Amino acid sequence: MKDSILDLLSKDARISAAEVAVRIGVTEAKVNELIKELEADNIIKGYKVIINEEALNENIVRALIEVKITPERGGGFDRAAKRICRFPEVTDCYLISGDYDLRLEVKGNSLRDVAAFVSEKLSTIDGVISTATLFLLKKYKESGKILEEEEEYERLKISP
Amino acid sequence: MKDSKFPHNKIAEHIRKIPRSGIREFFELVIGCDDVISLGVGEPDFVTPWTIRESAIYSLDQGHTSYTSNQGLLSLRREICNYVNKDFGVAYVPETECLVTVGVSEALDLAMRALVNPGDEVIYSEPCYVSYGAEIQMVHGVPVVIENTAETEFSLDIEQLKAKITPKTKILMLNFPCNPTGATLDLRQLEEISRIAVKHDLIVFTDEIYSELSYVKRLPTIASFPGMRERTVFLHGFSKAFAMTGFRIGYACGPAEIIAAMNKIHQYTILCAPIMAQEAAEEALKNGAEPMEKMRREYQQRRNFMVGGLNKIGLKCIKPKGAFYLFPSIKSTGLTSMDFAKRLLDEQKVAVVPGTAFGSCGEGYIRCCYAASYEELAEAMKRIETFVENLKK
């Protein structure tokens, strides 16, 4: 039942408990109780909006940054990663396999903003060996959602 | 038709006798209407899962544009037989006991033509898919109708079945989960129907097109019951479960002699199903289980939503265990099915199909298909409520 609730909420976080209740066939109170549990268990971390920034016409600049780090004995990459995560410019941070260690997504108001963050903040952190910045040119899909949907194809109104 | 000079009596007599489809009539009314929310369709609102579409594109990309063997690609038939064995509990031989057709409609037509002699009686139950009665007439068979009712939740009325069997009865036609009622059969019914079929030496056609869309534990097909494999034609396809209506791929599994006879007709009339659609169907069986299950869960939630809504506004409706249709009673409004559907379309711009399109015992009911988005369903429910409220004034 929790799976169904998570499924519905991940498609539309604004769906009401009453509606979830109707769809999965339990009471509203039960749905509220289960959502509370999911939140308490740290499974639901928050409720977020997917914004098509291009449509907003705001000149937000995003970049992916690959970061190479010297791991520490005991802590591995955790300490450096946690420190990097504290910067509000960093919207996502992953430890990855391959040539680099961390992959960040960074957000700024201009190219210069992002460049300054990389050269002044990120690269000066202890343990950061090198960085590679890849500016995002266009976003096609985010969190499973295609941002510019094509026009819908219309089927017949009546069929057997 | 009246303006044409072509003499009507030149049209073949048995075709002339087939009444105009009730659904066609209503379709033409809807065509002239804008901004209609439609609960009138008989197909999924989902687009075919991408992995399946992509394989059709790949097929074209690779230049696969030829005929296939009449029976269909052997690789597809192998996948089909494997799937039917695993999911429905009957093992068929891909080489001799499986035929790929252009939709289940063709498979049904072939089976009828292969087995019915003029005058043979074919028993089927109404309300049912629009083609069954006409199909029997087209092969010069005699349609014998069982009328299922709300009292038995539109499931097969076995007492009527027993009463309708005569020495001329050759075939029993089943379609559960059922279009338009969503009704299903339970284990006890399946057992009893198979006992009756064996006792009276009937051939059973089972149209299982909605089988995957079951909202309770799915039972094995009737073909798997004792004495049934040798007398059952198992009809199935990809349209509903995999949202592939436009691909037109169906299939029949059954005894080799029947499949060979069906293939004889198929090779002279259709030759083979389109190759790119066959390749897409193969992909559906290989990698379509997950998207199909997602769609099934979605339908189930929509069903819950719609059943609650219709009952709340006084259109009594059972909670069907399969397919994506609801068949609520509109008797409380005092209108006929056709009037209800016409006025609902006219006054609130919601399209449903009058129950009479599926047989005369569908009078007093409408078919609502819930294969539509939540937004549409919610808006349609609001409008139906307003319509019903206005009727009371």
Give the predicted TM-score (pTM) of the model.
0.88
Cβ-contact B174, B203 below 8 angstroms: no
pLDDT at A73: 84
A-chain CB neighbours of B297 within 8 Å are 4, 7
CATH number, domain of A107, equals 3.30.70.920
DSSP code at position A87:
S
Cβ-contact B270, B101 below 8 angstroms: yes
The secondary structure element, H or E, covering residue B24 is helix B22-31
Say if residue B131 is in the same domain as residue B250.
yes
The minimum CA-CA distance between A24 and chain B, rounded to whole Å, is 6
Expressed as residue numbers, the domain containing A26 is: 2-40
Expressed as residue numbers, the domain containing B162 is: 50-287
Residue B17 within any structural domain of the chain:
yes
Partner-chain residue, chosen from B26, B47, B301, that has the shortest CB–CB distance to A158: B26
The number of folded domains in chain A is 2
Please give the structure tokens belonging to residue A146.
């295609």
Of B123, B128, B125, B98, residue with least CA distance to B110: B98
Give the chain A residue nearest B352 (alpha carbons): A158
A1-24 mean pLDDT = 92
Cβ-contact B46, B370 below 8 angstroms: no
Identify residues of B whose CB sits under 8 angstroms from chain A CBs: 21, 23, 26-27, 30-31, 36, 38, 40-43, 45, 47, 129-131, 179, 297, 301-302, 304-305, 308, 351, 353
Q: Given CB atoms, is A153 within the 8 Å cutoff of chain B?
A: yes
Say if residue B29 is in the same domain as residue B99.
no
Residue A48 within any structural domain of the chain:
no
A-chain CB neighbours of B26 within 8 Å are 158
Which residues numbered 21-60 in A keep a CB inside 8 Å of some CB on B? 22-25
A-chain CB neighbours of B349 within 8 Å are none
pLDDT less than 50: residues of chain B:
none
Say if residue A32 is in the same domain as residue A77.
no
Q: Give Cβ neighbours of residue A99 (< 8 Å, ≥ 6 apart).
A: A66, A68
Residue B3 within any structural domain of the chain:
no
Partner-chain residue, chosen from A4, A25, A158, that has the shortest CB–CB distance to B41: A158
Segment A57-109, tens digit of pLDDT: 778 899 999 999 998 888 789 999 999 999 999 999 999 999 999 999 999 99
pLDDT at A134 > cutoff 60: yes
pLDDT at A49 > cutoff 70: yes
Say if residue B97 is in the same domain as residue B142.
yes
Of B212, B218, B176, B214, residue with least CA distance to B193: B176
Q: Provide ipTM, 2 decimals.
A: 0.73
Please give the structure tokens belonging to residue B196.
């009756």
Say if residue B172 is in the same domain as residue B271.
yes
Return mean pLDDT, chain A.
91
Cross-chain Cβ contact A159/B42 below 8 Å? yes
Q: Residue A119: helix, strand or coil by DSSP?
A: helix
A114-132 mean pLDDT = 94
CATH number, domain of B153, equals 3.40.640.10
